[in-house]
Chains A and B, each alone.
Chain A
Amino acid sequence: MAGRTQGFAPLAAGLIGIAAFVLIVVGPPGSRKPAPPPPVSAGPPPSSVSANGFTLTSATMDLPADDATYPDGPNADLVNARCSACHSPSMVLTQPAFPAEKWQEIVLKMRDVYHAPIAEQDIAPITQYLAARPVAD
């Protein structure tokens, strides 16, 4: 097991991408309901439609940004470049340990099914990184 972690930054991978993402929070947890009263310059109230006692009101959302990256290790730059466009690294970092063949299958699925731009020569180094990734409890 020790050999598997060789070359990786000493920080436990399980904690990376787990605590390292950034959330935009409206106030502390538990007080998320009312935002401060809108400034006077705020636009008109959101539009709505009603009938038979039910109203639907236009909505907007601010999705949190995710700054998490893949933990350091051989080929981490390549993995960051190829495996963060469509989903957060946590999609990968929450996976259990899989053998290299399974990871290669996953990488090929990303390319062939979801059209991830992955060049032929990138497959082996990405697979190596994923198979060597230390998995926390």
Chain B
Amino acid sequence: MDYLDERAALAVSRRRLLKAAAVGAGALATPVLAQALADLRLPGGPSRRPLASGFPGKGEMIVQRVRPPLLETPFSVFDRDVFTPADQFFVRWHWADMPTSIDVESFRLTVRGAVRQPISISLAQLLHMPRVEIAAVNQCSGNSRGLFQPRVPGAQWAHGAMGNARWLGVSLRHVLDLAGVRGDAVAVRFGGLDQPLVAGAPDFEKSLVIEHARDGEVMLAFAMNGEQLPMLNGFPLRLVVPGWYSTYWVKMLNDIEVLAAPDDRYWMEKAYKIPTTPGANVVPGAKGFPTVPIGAMVPRSWVTSLGEGQEIAFEPSIPLGGIAMGGDHGVARVDVSSDGGHSWRPATLGPDHGKYSFRRWDARVPLARPGRIRLMARCTSTAGVTQPMAPVWNPSGFMRANVEVTTILATR
């Protein structure tokens, strides 16, 4: 047993060394140290993360993990536009073995399994197919996990594991119909080019039930915000599942398998599961509760025009702005409070880019007196769901969606 363990350890580290050598051979420039630090203000810490712009295709990002990259969008980015620039769009990979080079001529997407005719599609063929474009928020299931109390293991994100983009591509239904889905199909599984570092470990794959996969909205995107995807966001193709958490938005998508039985592999059966309770909420420490795979997102909103801890000159009334999302429905309204949630007033909603997009909101709020002020925004979706005041808790740190508080200091 020990001998085998040692051999496995050696195999892993040898592979790792080879990879490191391959990276070195790229010889782009002299390595430098990241210098600036971001403070994520996570309860109990650690809260400081490097800010760096050295990742391929990426501007300044909060570095949660270098390998495989976990990069968070600095929160100030969300105040600039409801669409998140691709070069500051968050990045999240599970396994470090991913291609560092993709040739658009030889890349193929396969559609196989419970279909009449397995097919292999080139990118040139895909570009000839009818297109769909949709504005949609892509949010990690564990966005804001670092704010859970008590804290839970996993990527310790603040609120920046999300972004909104215009996704351009081809409807998944169109591609499935080309292969011809058989009558016994129940689900569709998606795999990308990333792979586990050790043999036998679970490859990252996700699936959707067949009705969802064929709803005409789920799509294979080859562009975001009008440009091809950055490699770290899934070039050349990624699945877009509007209204659903990012775990389903498989990157570097190259394999679509139609299943005649439910997906029982690790990433559907064991990981990314939530309690069946409303809001996925359980008592901290609870175990043995029933779970289901995570699915649709829920409404959220944030103040973006002022940052946590910011100092402003006192005025009897101040402008306030931010963003909201309705989850798998549109944003019906946003209400704001400047007195810790005692009184609320409606915000004015900005342009509507579709129900899956971020929506800008703006308002003016009164300030009672100088001092510490607790600002809040609260979104209600077109499905009539309003953000709760109290945070949820579950052991994986999924689906945080309560009203967030931004505390500022108004001085005279």
Residues of A in contact with B (beta carbons under 8 Å apart):
13-15, 18-27, 29-30, 32, 47-52, 54-66, 68, 81-82, 84-88, 90-91, 93-98, 102, 106, 113-121, 135-137
Q: Which residues of B contact A85 (CB under 8 A)?
A: 9, 12-13, 16, 197-198
Measured between alpha carbons, how far is A118 from B1 in the docked complex, in Å? 10
- B46 contact from A24, A49, A94, A114, Cβ within 8 A: A94
> Is B66 a contact of A88 with CB atoms below 8 Å?
yes
> Is A63 a contact of B34 with CB atoms below 8 Å?
no
Residues of B in contact with A (beta carbons under 8 Å apart):
1-2, 5-9, 12-13, 16, 20, 23-24, 26, 28-29, 31-35, 37, 42, 44-50, 52-57, 59-60, 63-70, 95-96, 100-105, 122-124, 127-128, 131, 151, 153, 155-156, 168, 196-202, 222-223, 228, 231-232, 235-236, 266, 270
- B127 contact from A13, A52, A137, Cβ within 8 A: A52
Measured between alpha carbons, how far is A56 from B84 in the docked complex, in Å? 21
Given contacts A61-B231, A68-B66, contact A81 B26 (CB under 8 A): no
Q: Which residues of B contact A137 (CB under 8 A)?
A: 45-48
> Is B32 a contact of A25 with CB atoms below 8 Å?
yes
> Is B128 a contact of A51 with CB atoms below 8 Å?
yes
> Is B34 a contact of A23 with CB atoms below 8 Å?
yes
Q: How far is the CB of A65 from chain B (nearest CB, A)?
A: 5
Q: How far is the CB of B106 from chain A (nearest CB, A)?
A: 9
Max count, chain A CB within 10 A of own CB: residue among B47, B223, B266: B47
> Is A14 a contact of B9 with CB atoms below 8 Å?
no
Q: How far is the CB of B141 from chain A (nearest CB, A)?
A: 17
28 A–B contacts, CB within 8 A, in A order: A13-B46, A18-B49, A23-B34, A23-B66, A26-B28, A26-B29, A30-B53, A49-B122, A50-B124, A50-B127, A56-B222, A57-B104, A59-B228, A60-B100, A61-B231, A63-B100, A64-B55, A65-B20, A85-B16, A85-B197, A88-B66, A90-B66, A96-B151, A114-B196, A117-B6, A120-B2, A136-B46, A137-B45
> Is B9 a contact of A54 with CB atoms below 8 Å?
no
Measured between alpha carbons, how far is A123 from B1 in the docked complex, in Å? 14
Q: Which residues of B contact A23 (CB under 8 A)?
A: 31-34, 52, 54-55, 66
> Is A24 a contact of B128 with CB atoms below 8 Å?
no
> Is A56 a contact of B104 with CB atoms below 8 Å?
yes
Measured between alpha carbons, how far is A117 from B13 in the docked complex, in Å? 11
Measured between alpha carbons, how far is A88 from B123 in the docked complex, in Å? 33
Q: Which residues of B contact A87 (CB under 8 A)?
A: 65, 67-68, 96
- B69 contact from A63, A97, A113, A135, Cβ within 8 A: A63
> Is A102 a contact of B32 with CB atoms below 8 Å?
no
> Is A49 a contact of B104 with CB atoms below 8 Å?
yes
Measured between alpha carbons, how far is A47 from B24 in the docked complex, in Å? 24
> Is B46 a contact of A14 with CB atoms below 8 Å?
yes
Q: Which residues of B contact A57 (CB under 8 A)?
A: 104, 228
> Is B197 a contact of A94 with CB atoms below 8 Å?
no
Q: How far is the CB of B128 from chain A (nearest CB, A)?
A: 5
Given contacts A49-B123, A56-B123, contact A114 B1 (CB under 8 A): no
- B65 contact from A24, A88, A113, Cβ within 8 A: A88
> Is B56 a contact of A63 with CB atoms below 8 Å?
yes
> Is B66 a contact of A18 with CB atoms below 8 Å?
no
Measured between alpha carbons, how far is A29 from B88 in the docked complex, in Å? 13
Q: What is the chain A residue whose CB lies nearest that of B23?
A: A65
Max count, chain A CB within 10 A of own CB: residue among B5, B37, B46, B69: B46
> Is A56 a contact of B122 with CB atoms below 8 Å?
no
Q: Which residues of B contact A13 (CB under 8 A)?
A: 46
- B44 contact from A91, A116, A135, Cβ within 8 A: A135
Given contacts A54-B223, A65-B20, A85-B16, contact A19 B44 (CB under 8 A): no
- A56 contact from B5, B55, B236, Cβ within 8 A: B236
Q: Which residues of B contact A29 (CB under 8 A)?
A: 52-53, 59-60
> Is B67 a contact of A63 with CB atoms below 8 Å?
yes
- Since A23-B31, A64-B31 are in contact, a sample of 19 more A-B pairs with Cβ atoms closer than 8 Å, ordered by chain A residue number, is A18-B49, A19-B37, A23-B32, A25-B29, A29-B52, A47-B105, A52-B127, A54-B223, A56-B222, A58-B104, A59-B228, A65-B66, A95-B153, A96-B42, A117-B8, A117-B198, A120-B1, A136-B46, A136-B47
> Is B198 a contact of A81 with CB atoms below 8 Å?
no
> Is A52 a contact of B131 with CB atoms below 8 Å?
yes
Q: What is the chain A residue whose CB lies nearest that of B12?
A: A85
Q: What is the chain A residue whose CB lies nearest that of B127?
A: A51
Q: How far is the CB of A86 from chain B (nearest CB, A)?
A: 5
Q: What is the chain A residue whose CB lies nearest that of B223?
A: A54
Q: What is the chain B residue whose CB lies nearest that of A52?
A: B127
